[in-house]
Amino acid sequence: MSIRAYDVVIVGSGAAGLTAAIHLAQDKKVLVLAKGALDGGSTAWAQGGIAAVLDAGDSFERHIEDTMVAGCGLNDRATVEFVVSGAPAAIERLAELGVPFNEAEQFGERWHLTREGGHSHRRIVHVDDATGAAVQKALVKAARENPNITLMADMVAIDLITSRHCIRYSGDGHVWGVYAFNRSTGHVDAFTARATILATGGAGRAYLFSTAPRGATGDGIAMAWRAGCRVSNMEMNQFHPTCLYDLEVKNFLITEAVRGEGGRLKLPPGVPGGGKRFMDRFDKRGELAPRDIVARAIDHEIKRLGLDYVHLDISHKTPEFIMEHFPTIHARLLDLGIDITKDPIPVVPAQHYTCGGVIIDLDGRTDLPGLYAAGEVTESGLHGANRLASNSLLECFVFGEAAARNIRAHWEDLSPPPPIRPWDESRVTDSDEEVIVTHNWKEIRRFMWDYVGIVRTTKRLERAKRRVELLSQEVDEYYGNFRVTPDLIELRNLVEVARLVIRSALARKESRGLHCTLDYPEVLAEAKDTVLTP
Ligand SMILES: Cc1cc2nc3c(=O)[nH]c(=O)nc-3n(C[C@H](O)[C@H](O)[C@H](O)COP(=O)(O)OP(=O)(O)OC[C@H]3O[C@@H](n4cnc5c(N)ncnc54)[C@H](O)[C@@H]3O)c2cc1C
């Protein structure tokens, strides 16, 4: 096993990790790890854009207010102010790095701004409908060109290096880097540093259907929790109403524009009311009701009738109209045997964003000395009980920079890493039963979907709790006996994250924002974070 030292180790090469790296690299040697390709996180998948007050008629106060309304009273106002006021400068820096934001068509304005649900003004800067890909490309380019930044793909971080991994145990909880599985050698390496930043993204893959990429398994949340950090509001998972129901392709988003252009949600044939629309029973706006209402209505019908999916049907429009408006969806679904000019699309809601996470302060500091975090892995207080569209990339830029600033300003206070113990592979053997890993992966995602989804009950949550405890014991045993593999590392983290979500959901005795339970339908007078302490 090799042990390599850097000034700062960053786990994650998305918007949060690379922003931090670029700011730190002014005078620090930085290592950035990604568990697959450098652009394998959610950042590259973001479509809509980034929220920022850039129009003369808009104001910070309105952006703050919109964020607080979406967050249903659970946001931290100081954090919201901090992020919103940092947005214009963050956009400026991205433009300097070469992100080709769409320009305004009107004279006197710089960027073209769109408006999204929940925003009271046009304030979303974007690069067509593929903003994330353009941001990711510009950040990777800037990082590659910086001699102080080392980028390593295919390195799966396993655990944080804490004082218990040191040769002389110092017991102060300090974090000095990570152990990571090197996919190309099949062995575990150690990377030490004075400061470590977790920028590992969300945990969408704890659910059967998620719009997030394959690697969104909550690794940073689980690593931080195991090392001793508190986490908060893990029950707050945002769901997108319409994702294709296909057990192979589990993350193909059917844009809300399909409903916007007249798409009808119907029950599938063979059940009472089959072939008929159902949204008007839930909201007078029908299919055009807000995201969370549509997602809950679909979930309700699926659970009530024991369905796998409902139908989204746009086939009453002409084939020309459909192909002109939705060429990508039409082509993709045709490949899967669905002709949307004739057939309805089977859809389910899908997990879309992890609002909860590792608790950080305005400097990106976690509970442990030397450990920072930024982006979707965190609970900074920005989103509260529900995320306002296009605020999440923004959070990555503001907190990536904040963490870097704090590390540079307090460099002398961060203690250098002491000698550490290498990763011990002598006790373990190769697994002869990989099927346990694949089976448990599927099982977690299935019961999280069925019992800890959009609409919850205490009974369903208790059911999920019993299952996750059993899986947790099984995975711990397996992890203790066999050599680590990327799938096993992720499974161990998924189980941990699932436990945190279930515990948090059981702890919240009200329905607020994204947490909706039939047993406690009211909103309590006082808004409180669900904080879990290891
Ligand atoms: C389909 C979709 C559309 C979206 N659209 C928008 C939008 O329009 N606007 C918006 O603001 N937000 C949007 N979001 C949300 C936004 O994209 C994410 O919140 C944001 O990109 C998260 O960035 P991040 O840097 O925190 O993590 P990510 O970009 O997810 O990066 C995570 C990084 O961590 C690495 N990593 C994870 N675990 C490990 C490990 N164990 N070891 C080593 N490396 C690891 C990954 O390899 C990756 O490099 C969207 C999300 C999705 C899924």
Q: How far is CA 344 from CA 266, 309, 525, in A?
A: 9, 11, 43
**Closest residue by Cα to residue 23 from 202, 283, 156, 197:** 197
At 231, give phi and psi (nearest 5°): -125, 160
Q: Given this model, what pLDDT does residue 259 score?
A: 86
Amino acid, res. 142: A
Are the beta carbons of 149 and 25 closer than 8 angstroms? Answer: yes
The residues facing 505 across adjacent strands are none
Ligand 1 in reach of 448 Cβ (< 6 A)? no
Q: Given this model, what pLDDT does residue 473 score?
A: 94
pTM beyond 0.85: the answer is yes
The residue whose C-alpha atom lies closest to atom 3 belonging to ligand 1 is: 46
Q: Given this model, what pLDDT does residue 329 score?
A: 86
Which ligand 1 atom sits closest to the C-alpha of 223?
41
How far, in Å, from the CA of 421 to the mean position of ligand 1?
Answer: 32
Count Cα atoms within 13 angstroms, Cβ side, for 254. Answer: 31
Buried b (16+ CB within 10 A) or exposed e, 383-407: bbbbbbbbbbbbbbbbbbbbbbebb
Q: What does the CA dihedral 293, 297, 300, 301 come to, rounded to 10 degrees?
A: -170
CA distance 9 to 191: 7
Token pair 């119907």 in the structure block, residue: 266
Q: Given this model, what pLDDT does residue 114 score?
A: 85
Buried b (16+ CB within 10 A) or exposed e, 165-189: bbeeeeeebbbbbbbbbeeeeeebb
Active site residues per annotation: 291
Which ligand 1 atom sits closest to the C-alpha of 43?
21
Cα-only R_g, the chain = 23
CA distance 32 to 20: 10
Q: What is the largest CA-CA distance in the chain?
A: 73
How far, in Å, from the CA of 439 to the mean position of ligand 1?
Answer: 26
Question: Which tokens in the block code for residue 21?
Answer: 């790296």
Length of the chain in terms of residues written? 534
Q: What does the CA dihedral 472, 473, 474, 475 come to, rounded to 10 degrees?
A: 50
How far, in Å, from the CA of 150 to the mean position of ligand 1?
Answer: 20
**Closest residue by Cα to residue 159 from 445, 488, 511:** 488
| Ligand 1 pocket test, candidate residues 47, 91, 154, 200, most atoms within 8 A of CB | 200
Token pair 């607020």 in the structure block, residue: 512
Count Cα atoms within 13 angstroms, Cβ side, for 486. Answer: 15
Q: Given this model, what pLDDT does residue 292 score?
A: 82
Are the beta carbons of 192 and 417 closer than 8 angstroms? Answer: yes
Q: Given this model, what pLDDT does residue 159 score?
A: 97
Q: Is 531 buried (19+), middle (13-18) or exposed (0-12) by CB count in 10 A?
A: middle
DSSP secondary structure string, 322-377?
Answer: HHHH-HHHHHHHHHTT--TTTSPEEEEEEEEEE--EEE--TT-B-SSTTEEE-STT
Could you tell me if residue 233 is left (phi over 0), alpha (psi between -120 and 50 degrees) or otherwise beta?
A: left
Q: Report the Cα 213 to chain-centroid distance in Å.
A: 9
| Ligand 1 pocket test, candidate residues 10, 19, 39, 42, most atoms within 8 A of CB | 42
Ligand 1 in reach of 42 Cβ (< 6 A)? yes
pLDDT along the chain (534 residues), means of 10: 93 98 98 98 90 94 95 97 98 97 83 84 87 96 98 98 83 91 95 98 95 95 98 96 85 81 93 95 86 89 93 96 85 93 95 97 98 98 94 97 98 94 77 81 93 94 97 91 90 97 98 96 97 98
Q: Given this model, what pLDDT does residue 194 score?
A: 97
Token pair 């971080």 in the structure block, residue: 157
| Cβ count within 10 A of residue 163 | 19
